[in-house]
Amino acid sequence: MKNIILIAAPSAGKGTEAALLKEEYGIPHISTGDILREKAKEDSQLGRDIKYKIDNGIFVSDDLIIEILKSRIQQEDCNNGYILDGFPRDVKQAEEYKKILDELGKDIGIVLVIDVSLETALKRILGRVVCPKCKKVYNTNTEDIKPKIDGMCDDCKIELVKRSDDSEQTYMSRYNTYIEKTYPLIEYYEKQNIVYHIDGNVSIDYTHNQVKKILGDKND
């Protein structure tokens, strides 16, 4: 199985698609955002600094992100491939990631770009809720991932929560940063002929079926 980098605007469906791929192909989903949110809960200066940046749509330093990532992809469960969600965010991080891959003798794999309109993404971010225990993501504005019981996790039967950074103001800050920094990243990978674009505006099933076709072609 090839390593996968998922790129998309915030709330375009990276996390949902990564969860489906993890279940179907048995490879780990590495979300730098989830890792940092866990760090932000710690009662330490580092935890408080990370929480402030997350709440205000500010990127955490590259050095910290890269240190976390390098440690994670060396774990045994990554030997047969993994899914990167939230990294790299810009060309500088991509260049540092290549150095790590070269050092570890790992292949970059493929890059999947989920394209979605601002209107669709904003609607999703405002409806997103998460289980604090299993981290499963639901959306009150999207029929196919609404919880069965309003406000409750289907599996854990506990109350769902809204992330502190899932507000319109914070979202627009993150979206503008995405446009500024991540578009050049897509062009960087397109020059390497490893980018595949996917329409993320229709439905979760539609997006996932596009991804499966690409993976089937690339892993045959």
Give the tokens for residue 4. Answer: 């996968």
DSSP labels for 77-103? GGTT--EEES---SHHHHHHHHHHHHH
**148 is a catalytic site residue:** no
**89 is a catalytic site residue:** yes
Give the tokens for residue 208. Answer: 């996932």
Give the tokens for residue 24. Answer: 């179907």
**37 is a catalytic site residue:** no
Q: Which of 39, 51, 89, 124 is catalytic?
A: 89
**48 is a catalytic site residue:** no
Report how far apart, in Å, the C-alpha atoms of 89 and of each of 44, 122, 148, 174, 215 are: 26, 19, 34, 11, 22
Q: Which of 106, 163, 212, 218 is catalytic?
A: 163
Report how far apart, in Å, the C-alpha atoms of 76 and of each of 38, 65, 73, 208 are: 22, 20, 8, 26
Q: Which of 37, 39, 51, 128 is catalytic?
A: 128
Q: Which of 14, 37, 39, 136 is catalytic?
A: 14
**174 is a catalytic site residue:** yes
Please give the Cα distance from 104 to 70 (Å, whole number).
Answer: 9
In terms of DSSP bridges, do strands 128-130 and 4-8 run parallel, antiparallel, or are they unpaired?
Answer: unpaired
So which residues are the catalytic ones? Answer: 14, 89, 128, 163, 174
